[in-house]
Structure formats: structure tokens, C-alpha cells
Amino acid sequence: MAFTYSARSRAIEPFHVMALLARANQLQADGHDVIHLEIGEPDFTTAAPIVAAGQAALAAGHTSYTAARGLPALREAIAGFYQQRYNLSIDPQRILITPGGSGALLLASSLLVDPGKHWLLADPGYPCNRHFLRLVEGAAQLVPVGPEVRYQLTPELVERYWDSQSVGALVASPANPTGTVLSREELAGLSRTLKERGGHLVVDEIYHGLTYGLDAASVLEVDDEAFVLNSFSKYFGMTGWRLGWLVAPPEAVPELEKLAQNLYISAPSMAQHAALACFQADTLAILEERRAAFAQRRDYLLPALRELGFKIAVEPEGAFYLYADISAFGGDAFAFCQHFLETEHVAFTPGLDFGRYLATQHVRFAYTQDLPRLEQAVERIARGLKTWQASHAL
């Protein structure tokens, strides 16, 4: 039988890196030592106190649904974290626990996007954002951003790209794939510009905690009406537990709760119990050690790649990615990634996965491997560049 799939489903692009990942796994199965720099996931497993709390929750029989908004104790713990880290007093009633930051994105887009309405997004950016918009029949208005604006939307860009169908902007700080952070003043500028236009501001703060040499400001410090996505995946190292949260203005919460009830009933119960251990001093000490390890990796890989001729115009201050311009080497980014995978068994992601703007001349490296492994990767990349350049002389 020939199935007919919805136009909305057909409009969603797969991750291009998946084809490379499948090939990487094949090479690995054939006995090759593949260095994975393509995956947007910390290499550390979940910290022991969180795992222990999860095991205890299972043993205690916490296997049922929770309230759609999430466990009250977890919402209070998150509010406490805002107080401690940002000196912000957030009413726990404004916090909804979601299945990953992805669940928070689903809630926010279901709440805020009407068919045909435009949302401004930075290009390059996290690809799922525009796909979530498409699923709710909205449209991403991709705004090309380069190093001159540190790959972030600015008030000027919002003014320039805003049209009669625009209703909001979604930004990420730190951003994927570029790792750049929006300052408190920049967030305030965006918030003001959107308010002047009656638009919503959604800020993805899921890489908060993974910033190096600074702490990222939350948009909630300057705008109480913004929607904030966050996650236990990255800083808290719980990708597979599928847990995140959304902070919303108080009046939006009942509507979001209704959506949560219908879309997924509740976030995973045992994950929520496990996450209660995230905010303990012993857990935070482990997470801070990991943050220091990521900083060290960035401080190694960034100059090492620049030395090889990769152009990384803006020093990323957060997340665990380096977004590099490969135009000095000639050729197309996807073929470039294929070349390094096939000849040197190093996997990284082509720019096409993050948008359109100059995508074929960029690649993303995730420093989700330890230092010795990164050093090996750099050796292999140096060697692979020679063979690439031999066939792609400019």
C-alpha cells in the first residue's frame, strides 16, 4: 500500500549528519577507530548522585504519571536554582517540567504560533526550531547572521526582517552551532524591540551552565514576560532521561498545562525524581568539574583548528561547539565531512544541518571527547587536510 504522508511531515528535513553517522557506525563495526565530534551530547554519563536518586525512585515505585506541570518539589528546586544562580525570584507556579527542552519547544510553539505566522530565527541555528514551527503550521523567517553580529539576532535585524505576519523571535544563548552568548543588555534590546511590535520572545537557555569565563544572563533578568526553555540534558548531563522545563508568564500557565496534558500527560516520573538530586552541592561540584573540562577542551581545540586554517571568527563562550568556516580549503562542507570520515575516521557535522546561510562552507565540531582524543583528532585532521587540499587546490 502506498502511504500518503502529511505535507507538514514531508516538509521536515532529516539531519544530514545522520547519513554520516550511519557511515561512521559502519566504519566502526568494520573495526575502525572513529573519533566522534559530530554529536551534540556530553560524553560524560549522568553524575552518580542523580543516578542513585533515579534508582531509589524506581525502587520506591515512582513509576506513575505526575501532574502535567511536573513534580511540585522539582519546580520548587528549579525556582531555588534561579535564586541561587541568577538572584532571581521565580514563582514555581510559572515553571512546567517537560520531556526535554524539546518538550518545552513543543509547548511554546503550540501555544504561540498560529498558521502562517512568522517567527524570526537566526540562521545558522538549531534546526528543530524551524521544524517545530512547521509542525504547528507557522513559518520560520530565517535571518542570516554572521560573525559581525556574533551569529545572533539583534534589534536592527529584528526591525529589518519583521513583516506583517511576524509574531515573535526565538533565540538561543549560548547558541548551537556557534556557542555565542547574548549579554543582559543584548537580551534587553531584543525584548524591547519585540515588545514595541507586540511580539513574543522565546529564549532557549538549554546550554546555560556550560559557559566559560562568564555566566550567561537569563532573559528573565530583564523581561518577565519572555518564555524560557531549559533542559536537564546538557549542563546536568541527562540527555537520555528526557527532561527539561519551560518558564512562562503566569497567565500562560493554565493554557500550557492543558497542552501538556494532551501532548504527553507528564514528563517521565523517575527522571523527575532523579533530577531532584541535580541541585545538591555534591552534584553541582561534579557538574562544575565537567564544565571546567569543557573549558579546557575549547581552549585546546579552538587555537589548534585555527592554526590549521579553519576560520572561527568569534570565540564561542558557551555550549560545546566550534563553528568553523572551511572556505580556505575549497570544496563543499558535506564532501569535506565525508572526506575526513572516510580517510581519517573523524566525524563532524556539515553546516547544512543548521540552516542555509553560507552552510556549504561551514562545519561544526563538538568537543564532546576528552583532551587526548581531541589531540588525536587534530593530528588526523591535519593529515586529512593535506589530501583534501591536494584534490581541491583553489
Task: Give the interface with ligand PLP as residue ranges (CB under 6 A).
Answer: 40, 100-102, 126, 172, 176, 204, 206, 231, 233, 239, 244
Alpha carbons 146 and 123: distance in angstroms, whole number: 9
> CB of 98: closest distance to ligand PLP in angstroms?
8
> CB of 168: closest distance to ligand PLP in angstroms?
16
> CB-wise, 17 or 158, nearer to ligand PLP?
17
> CB-wise, 131 or 383, nearer to ligand PLP?
131
> CB-wise, 40 or 70, nearer to ligand PLP?
40
CA distances from 242 to 30, 104, 125, 142, 209 (A): 31, 11, 21, 28, 18
> CB of 233: closest distance to ligand PLP in angstroms?
3
> CB-wise, 191 or 349, nearer to ligand PLP?
349
> CB of 151: closest distance to ligand PLP in angstroms?
12
Question: Which residue's beta carbon is nearest to the bound ligand PLP?
Answer: 100
Alpha carbons 310 and 325: distance in angstroms, whole number: 6
> CB-wise, 162 or 320, nearer to ligand PLP?
320
> CB of 102: closest distance to ligand PLP in angstroms?
3
Alpha carbons 297 and 210: distance in angstroms, whole number: 12
Alpha carbons 124 and 372: distance in angstroms, whole number: 30
> CB-wise, 24 or 104, nearer to ligand PLP?
104
> CB-wise, 239 or 272, nearer to ligand PLP?
239
> CB of 120: closest distance to ligand PLP in angstroms?
16
**Exposure on the CB side of residue 61, measured as CA atoms within 13 A:** 0
CA distances from 153 to 12, 156, 194 (A): 23, 8, 12
> CB-wise, 172 or 352, nearer to ligand PLP?
172
> CB of 229: closest distance to ligand PLP in angstroms?
7
> CB of 7: closest distance to ligand PLP in angstroms?
25
